[in-house]
Structure 1
Amino acid sequence: MNMMKTAMLLAALTALFMGVGYLVGGSGGAFIAFLFAAGMNLFSYWNADKLVLKMHNAHEVDERSAPDFVGMIRQLAERADLPMPKVYLIDSDQPNAFATGRNPENAAVAATTGLLQQLSHEEVAGVMAHELAHVKNRDTLTMTITATLAGAISMLGNFALFFGGSRDNNSPFGFAGVLLAALTAPFAAMLVQMAISRTREYSADRDGAAIAGNPLWLASALGKIAGSAKRRPMMSAEQNPASAHLFIINPLSGARMDNLFSTHPSTENRIAALQEMASGGGGPAIPRQSSRPAREPGPAARGPSGPWGSVGTSRPSSGTVPQTGRKRRGPWG
């Protein structure tokens, strides 16, 4: 079913590409756009994940450079019955994360350094379990290809004014067609992004909560990420807005409402759904945790030994996801 959805998405984006090409250059422009879209589809299938990681200057880490974080991902992947993905870090103060890859065997998860510094161990586990749920549900291929092609469509619309604005262009609608392409291409690409992202986030929230072991971990994390993202811009996302729908919370300034023009559901709605899941009685027990509440570290709490070393003393040092124990309240209250 997911392969069918991906094929339909590629067909829709290709048709959109051809439509913009027709508005700019007539039938010749549509044919060139078709060839370009076909090449982009092929390129995106094999390389979109690498391109997205490069967009955000992500660097791969392993057990030596980030032992606790990579160990957490390994345990979560085992719980989800997934192959171990590649693990990346993005140097950004904004807490956020995303997953990418064409299938579970070639998946990667990426988190910002801000996520590890500002969230508790349990909250990070909830976030990364959400990203692994995207991998398990095979959302990553569709979302990553969309990020690549939506960016290309937006650039095509922007370039239309420069390459199609002359009087001797082949557009059947003249300059009006070029202007229409320039205005509608980015908007149409945004609509495609919204169509694939919003429902997938709710599904990944539910499945990720089951993988991590407690819906309240992810609920607490979403609230912290949304609040911090408003104060800390992510420059790589601002420069590559077509990739915004990949992240667990929209990394762009503005656009945080649950309306027609948002790539993500409302954070408040997502938190409410997770809290309802936790109170339904069907979820897993809350694992044993440290009695010390999680806190955002100051400079003195940040150590030199890998990403977890910069998180402070409230985080467990074993790098493992806490196991189930007696029920009790977590760091969220």
Structure 2
Amino acid sequence: MFNWTKTFLLMAAITALFAVIGGMLGGQQGMLLALLFAGGMNFFSYWFSDKMVLKMYNAQEVDEHSAPQFYGMVRELAQRAGLPMPKVYVINEDAPNAFATGRNPENAAVAATTGIMQVLSERELRGVMAHELAHVQHRDILISTISATMAGAISALANFAVMFGGRDSDGRPVNPIASIAVMILAPLAATLIQMAISRAREFEADRGGAEICGDPEALAQALAKIERYAQGLPLTPAEAHPETAQMMIINPLHGGGLSGLFRTHPATEERIQRLLAMTGRYRAG
């Protein structure tokens, strides 16, 4: 519930930021133009993102005959989550990765690389796929598209102001110094809010995934293992791979301080701690 509330407040913040900046730099006409521009781009991405991403990674669709164990795992988890059966894909890639895509639960797809299947145990992989199905269940593609639209509209407003000069809602020129400051800071603020929304959704997907699979510890162990892989550290003698992960369900950048504000994913250690805190409750049940 906390992360849903946080998401709502962040969405309200980015919407309010768009209204304020739009009024300062573009007036009502500029606001409408920027919103339509950003909305058109992100609508296309939202509607066709599944096909674009799957084609980008040359994902191959599998079924109960070509990948019976993996397909059966996803089907069992989807049933536990009360979701329609998504399309299931496998990507021939060494880097451990898994993701969900699709504009709604009825048009969803989940994919995993061959690398993650080799690195993780069956139990850990089950936790990861439950996490991805939680993204589908929570309609996170829609949430991320809306936040991206608002952030893109704010950036578009700043660009319009650079080209045509900022105008307030009455059509009067904006103070040049204030205009320049807003043009620099507004897109930065929008990006920070967008990243915060993404991190909140990851926490919620961790919680939802743990509930779907009923095994928070499995997802915690999977995240720890993939984190070590991403850092280039050996997993165990039997699990070590020479390649470095390129795209994972965790963020490969480990900057602290202000750089952490730009992360799309929360710190893995905090995710693991939250999952392990859930473990006692599930064992007791």
What's the TM-score once normalised by structure 2's chain length? 0.71
Match of 1:192 in 2: 194
Are the structure 2 counterparts of residues 51 and 273 from structure 1 closer, same or farther at C-alpha, using a change threshold of 3 Å?
same
Aligned partner of 1:170 among 165, 168, 172: 165
Q: Is the counterpart of residue 218 in structure 1 residue 213 in structure 2?
A: no
- Against the structure 1 CA distance between its residues 264 and 30, is the aligned structure 2 distance closer, same or farther, given a 3 Å change threshold? same
**Does the C-alpha gap of structure 1 residues 104 and 183 become closer, same or farther in structure 2, counting only changes over 3 Å?**
same
CA deviation string 1:18-43 (max 9, x = no partner): 66666766665333213224434644
For the 8 Å contact 2:96–2:245, the answer to whether it is kept is no
Does the alignment pair 1:250 with 2:248?
no
Q: Output the aligned Cα RMSD.
A: 4.0
Runs of at least 5 residues in structure 2 that lack an aligned partner in the other structure? 167-173, 233-243
- What amino acid maps onto 2:279 in structure 1? A
- Residues 30 and 155 of structure 1, relative CA distance in 2, 3 Å threshold: closer
Distance 1:144 1:117 in 2: 32
**Partner of residue 62, structure 1:** 62
Percent identical pairs in the alignment equals: 49
Q: Is the 8 A contact 1:17 1:33 kept in 2?
A: no
CA deviation after TM superposition for structure 1 residue 62, in Å: 1.3
State the shift of 1:104 in Å. 1.6
Between 59-68 and 7-16, the greater mean CA deviation after superposition: 7-16
1:306-317 matched pairs, under 5 angstroms: none
> Structure 1 CA distance, aligned partners of 2:9 and 2:276?
34
Q: Residues 23 and 50 (structure 1 numbering): CA distance in 2 closer, same or farther, change over 3 Å?
A: farther
Question: What per-residue deviation string (whole Å, max 9, x for no partner) do you get for residues 81-108 of structure 1?
Answer: 2111122344544323222333221222
Q: CA, structure 1 residues 227+6, in 2 after alignment: closer, same or farther (shift >3 Å)?
A: closer
The answer as to whether partners of 1:139 and 1:200 remain within 8 angstroms in 2 is yes
The equivalent of 1:202 in structure 2 is 203
Please give the per-residue CA displacement for 1:225-250, whole angstroms capped at 9, x wherever unaligned.
Answer: 1222233352xx6xxxxxxxxx6312
Opposite residue 59 of structure 1, the aligned amino acid is A
Alignment partner, residue 104 of structure 2 = 103
- The amino acid that maps onto 1:139 is D
> Higher relative contact order at CA 8 Å, sep ≥6: structure 1 or structure 2?
2
What's the CA shift for 1:11? 7.4
Residue 79 of structure 1: CA displacement? Answer: 2.3
Aligned residue in 1 for 2:241:
none
> Which has more helix, going by share of residues?
2
Match of 1:275 in 2: 276
TM-score (norm 1): 0.62
Name the aligned partner's letter for residue 193 of structure 1. M
- Written as runs of structure 1 = structure 2, the 5 A alignment for 1:254-333 is 254-255=254-255, 260-280=261-281, 282=283
- Number of equivalent positions: 264
Structure 1 stretches lacking a partner, 5+ long: 238-246, 285-333
